[in-house]
Amino acid sequence: MRDHRDLLKMNERSLSQQAAVRRATFSPGEVKTLRPFSIWEISQFMFDIPADTLRKKLADDPSLPQGTVEEEGRQRWFTLAEINELRRRLRFRGKTLLPRRPKGRAMRVAVSNFKGGVGKTVVAQHLAHAAALDGYRVLCIDFDPQATLTHSMGLVEVREWETVWGIMCRDLCREADRITATYDDPDDCPHPSSDELPEDVQSIGAQRTGDFIQSTCWPTIDIIPSCANAAFVEFASAQYRALHKAWTFFGCVDRYLAELPDDQYDLIVFDCPPAIGYQSLNAAFACDILYVPSGPGYWEYDSTTSYLGQLGDAMADISEGFAGLAEEAGLHLPKTFRDVRLLMTRFESGNPLHQAMQDAFANVFGADMCTHPIEMTRAVEQSGRFQMSVYEQDYRQMTRETWKRARQSFDRAYAEFKATVLDAWDQADSQTGGAS
């Protein structure tokens, strides 16, 4: 017979193995770093200008970042910070190299589906990396207690109060006090104020906005991380919800993000857990665009269908149940998305079943379906425990063609994603009359 102690022992063995893999992956120093990028990549994939033109511009102005020449070879390599400086300072054919950024706050995109293993994290990671390479400032929020995105961004030691769960606890304190203050006599309030909440919740209530944001090895990507221990959040959240019946528990992250200055980020990417619960509802209520990845199998089609139904039902219930409380809590119900897009992932163009599933998805979802699927690529599949994106992998470690094919698949998906985001952003900007 075996019990929870066996599970904990197995967990301990596995953790020590994990630490060994981490040492090997991030050595030296167990720190994930971002590689530099070559002139070939910058000119072809980022600036879209001929390499010789870029070389000439660099030679003409020695005050521009000049990158570093590798020891063996003549190729020049640039850090992302250098590339962004070039973007700010160079023009090509009279045009800026900076990406277009409408006014207003950052656009928020939730990558969500309740099927595990469909490629949510890979999609969220690659969209974030592609956007950062495109010159945007990105905040990632890892809503998934499995913390795959957090690990892939190089963070390993994350505490519970630094996660979305912490944001929810802090929000409960703030909302509890706001609601109490709406009564002339606080004693008339039927709900607790923050000093009547559990002590661990109260201590998180004192955290500041910036305390939840951590930097990553990408200079222009920050993250609100998750941690494996956060699995208990669903438990705890249900308890807190019972403690305070007027708490709009699904609006915590939306309210939190409203505290950030409009101009701090351009894009906020949410990686969601494979379940509909407190965390994923917060993601749904905070996002502008819902991006739903699905693999090309029958069962993935079934579970995507049921995900859409269950999320729709949950949101309808909330809209009804909280209609009277939302407005004062800073929320508009029913929640509206600026767009909902379905994206096929792990697609093999030579596989007739995948082709058939893509046709079926296109028939059903029509224009809501992304045109370009994310292809199944060995470069991603074999990227190791800490899941290096195609963008992070050095093309010299495989054949250049293999790398280029993988990268182009993600680039096409990103180009489509960017068009969706910019459309939504322009809509938002025109509704606020262009005011930021």
Ligand X SMILES: Nc1ncnc2c1ncn2[C@@H]1O[C@H](COP(=O)(O)OP(=O)(O)O)[C@@H](O)[C@H]1O
120 binds Mg ion (CB under 5 A): yes
Q: Which of 345, 389, 393, 420 binds ligand X (CB under 6 A)?
A: 345
110 binds ligand X (CB under 6 A): no
Q: Which of 84, 112, 121, 282 binds ligand X (CB under 6 A)?
A: 121
Task: Identify any residues that bridge with 36 across adjacent strands, giving them in sequence order.
Answer: none
Question: What is the DSSP code (8-state) at residue 269?
Answer: E
388 binds ligand X (CB under 6 A): no
Sign of the CA dihedral running 292, 297, 299, 302: positive
346 binds ligand X (CB under 6 A): yes
Q: Which is nearer to ligand X, 118 or 176 (CB)?
A: 118
Q: Name the minimum Å distance from CB 383 to ligand X.
A: 7
Sign of the CA dihedral running 148, 154, 157, 163: negative
Task: Identify any residues that bridge with 108 across adjacent strands, giving them in sequence order.
Answer: 268
Stretch near Mg ion under the rule CB under 5 A, chosen from 142-150, 284-292, 335-343, 395-403: 142-150
374 binds ligand X (CB under 6 A): yes
Stretch near Mg ion under the rule CB under 5 A, chosen from 121-129, 282-290, 341-349, 418-426: 121-129
380 binds ligand X (CB under 6 A): yes
Which residue has its beta carbon closest to Mg ion? 121
Question: What is the DSSP code (8-state) at residue 375?
Answer: B
Stretch near ligand X under the rule CB under 6 A, chosen from 48-56, 111-119, 196-204, 395-403: 111-119
Token match 């991603």: residue? 380
**Using CB under 6 A as the criterion, what x/- string covers residues 274-303 for binding ligand X?**
x-----------------------------
CA-wise closest residue to 288 among 132, 425, 119: 425
What does the H/E/C string look like for 328-377? Answer: HHCCCCCCCCCEEEEEECCECCCCHHHHHHHHHHHHHHHHHECCCCCECC
CB 70 within 8 A of CB 229: no
Q: Strands (DSSP E) along 298-346, which ranges? A: 339-344
CA-wise closest residue to 319 among 273, 284, 368, 365: 284
CA distance 392 to 395: 9
Q: Name the minimum Å distance from CB 293 to Mg ion.
A: 10
Return the CA Rg of the chain.
23
Q: Which of 376, 388, 421, 424 binds ligand X (CB under 6 A)?
A: 376
Q: Which does 118 bind (CB under 5 to 8 A by kind): Mg ion, ligand X, none?
A: ligand X
CA distance 379 to 391: 10
154 binds ligand X (CB under 6 A): no
226 binds Mg ion (CB under 5 A): no
Q: Which is nearer to ligand X, 118 or 286 (CB)?
A: 118
